[in-house]
Each structure stands twice: as structure tokens, then as C-alpha cells.
Chain A
């Protein structure tokens, strides 16, 4: 089943919440990039688990020049 078929499993209520609160709203100092293996978040809504703050901070440190 490809990612488009997974849309049939999507909880639209959760998708709407995530789309508003995580994908929109005023953003400070850069964009929040939300994806799963290159697929936009808007595709997926059920049972999302976001990376911990430690993971994000580690990624930022690796990204620093």
C-alpha cells in the first residue's frame, strides 16, 4: 500500500489539528519542516510521534557550520 492509500486510514480530525497547530501559525526564526521520509505531514495524521527535543537539538548541532 502506498502513501496515498494510507490516506484512507487518516483521522481527519487529528489531521486538521496537526495542520493548524504544527503546520501554520506565526513562525519565528525560520521554518518548521515537518515530513516523513519526504512526504508532507498533511498526508499523515494518525498516531504521530514527534522526535524528542534532544534529537532536534542534536540535528541542529550537526547542521551548524
Chain B
């Protein structure tokens, strides 16, 4: 059996809790090392292929922890070969984990993802002149596409500025991801301000074109990158790369 790792927390937050079912419907328990604890499950191996439910179970455990204390979430798929390895994982880097706990204490993640619609390009006639040759038509289509992309970039940048300004009352810790029509924003906010920040952002998004999802409180997955990951080799990432196949039918 191996140990699947969910998150790091304070030992006091991990005691006496009924955790939801973990990966592969496994029992979740805490391994305490000094003032810290590691939430784990004993499983034979990672579920394969991984389903949405597996990811949800990983996150559900971390969300449950977030209700009782600090959550320093680990990425899905982190496993350790033994209980001793779990203990070493915590003990060997106790200073780093304690620093992470202090940094994230009382704070949660607000997450926004916006998919902007394809923009109407200005000044370009999208209709095709049937008298034009194929080369001209290709260039016209290409120019239209470039202008559309430029318009999307401009709107996305403007929206990012608007979102940053809206969140500035609650945090300066914001992580932004921009990729074509997709804008992702993660903000680290104090738990007691989460509702207010979410509502305020929601009023801005109500007038935004496109589709969006705004939610949380998430465990602060987006704000652990600054925590050094050169920890002891006792714990290892079970899967170092994934090739994703997008199924075209219903999920199994």
C-alpha cells in the first residue's frame, strides 16, 4: 500500500474531524509530525484513468480541511511509499511548511475564469468577394482573424485591469493567466472577506460578454508556488506527465 497525500495543515486542525471519502473512496486520516499534520489515504495505486470524480474527491478533502484550519494543498497525484516517508516529508522541511501555514492562515482563494466571445473585428468586411482569387481570400480571412485576436486581447487586458481594480480592496495577491480568449484570475483573500469580494466581482461580471465561472472559497492552490518544492525525496510525484485524451462521448 502507498499513501496518497492531500494537503498539509496544523496538527490541531486535523484532529477529531470526520473527513469526506478520499481518492478511490478511501478513508482519510492525519499523520501528525510535531505541530504539523499531513492528510493522507492509504491506497494501492492512483485510479486510472482518472475521472472528474477523483479530482473532486481530492478537492473535497482539502475543502473540508479549509473549514477547520489552514490548508496547504498538494497537487493531485502526490504519493509516498510509506508512513515513515510521509513523516519524513513533513519533518525534513518543517520550517518551510510552518512558513507556508503562517502565510496562508485564514486565507482562501477566489477563482474566476472568463471565456470571451470571438470579437467582431473593426473595419474589415467579413464577407468574401467571390471575384477575388483564392490567395486574396486567404489573406482577407487571415487579416480578419488577426484583427479579431487583437480585439480580444484588448478587451481581455481591459477586463483584467477592471478585475484587479475591483479586488484591490481585499488583496494584492493576484495570479493571472491569459491565453487567447481565456482569462483566469485567482485572488488570495481573507476568509471573512470572501463573500464581499465575490459579490463585488459578480456585479462587474454581470455586464461582461462571454461565459464565466466565479467561485470558491478554494483551498489556495494558486498560491503555493512560492513554497520551495525541493523537499525530501521520501515523497514522490506518482505521475510526472500526463497525456490528455479528450473523449468525444460521455464520460465513462
Mark A residues whose CB is within 8 Å of B: 4, 7-8, 10, 12-36, 40-44, 46-56, 59-60
Chain B window 64-102, contacts with chain A (Cβ cutoff 8 Å), 1 for yes, 0 for no: 000000001111111000000000010000000000000
**B48 touches A (CB below 8 Å):** yes
Q: Are A50 and B244 in contact, CB atoms less than 8 angstroms apart?
A: yes
Which of A14, A20, A34, A40 is within 8 Å of B52, CB to CB? A14
- Specify which chain B residues have a CB less than 8 angstroms from the CB of A26 in the assembled complex: 8, 72-75, 78, 224, 227, 229
Which of A17, A42, A53 is within 8 Å of B179, CB to CB? A42
**B34 touches A (CB below 8 Å):** no
CA separation between A20 and B75, bound complex, in Å? 8
The distance from the CB of A23 to the nearest CB of chain B, in whole angstroms, is 8
Given contacts A17-B59, A22-B75, A44-B246, list 13 more A-B pairs with CB under 8 A.
A8-B115, A20-B219, A21-B59, A21-B75, A24-B224, A25-B75, A28-B89, A32-B242, A48-B244, A48-B245, A48-B246, A50-B49, A59-B241
- Specify which chain A residues have a CB less than 8 angstroms from the CB of B242 in the assembled complex: 22, 32-34, 50-51, 56
- Specify which chain B residues have a CB less than 8 angstroms from the CB of A44 in the assembled complex: 244, 246
Which of A18, A19, A24, A28 is within 8 Å of B235, CB to CB? A28
Which of B48, B75, B218 is within 8 Å of A50, CB to CB? B48
Q: Are A53 and B55 in contact, CB atoms less than 8 angstroms apart?
A: no
**Chain A binder among B12-20, B120-128, B129-137, B208-216:** B208-216
- Specify which chain B residues have a CB less than 8 angstroms from the CB of A4 in the assembled complex: 180-181
- Specify which chain B residues have a CB less than 8 angstroms from the CB of A52 in the assembled complex: 48-49
In the complex where A7-B181, A32-B240, A36-B246 touch, is A27 in contact with B229 (Cβ < 8 A)?
A: yes
CA separation between A55 and B84, bound complex, in Å? 28
**B35 touches A (CB below 8 Å):** no
CA separation between A14 and B8, bound complex, in Å? 24
CA separation between A21 and B45, bound complex, in Å? 18
- Specify which chain A residues have a CB less than 8 angstroms from the CB of B182 in the assembled complex: 7, 42-43
The distance from the CB of B245 to the nearest CB of chain A, in whole angstroms, is 5
- Specify which chain A residues have a CB less than 8 angstroms from the CB of B73 in the assembled complex: 25-26
Which of B58, B212, B243 is within 8 Å of A51, CB to CB? B243
CA separation between A25 and B59, bound complex, in Å? 11
In the complex where A16-B111, A22-B75, A25-B224 touch, is A30 in contact with B237 (Cβ < 8 A)?
A: yes
The distance from the CB of B204 to the nearest CB of chain A, in whole angstroms, is 17
Q: Are A28 and B244 in contact, CB atoms less than 8 angstroms apart?
A: no
CA separation between A27 and B227, bound complex, in Å? 9
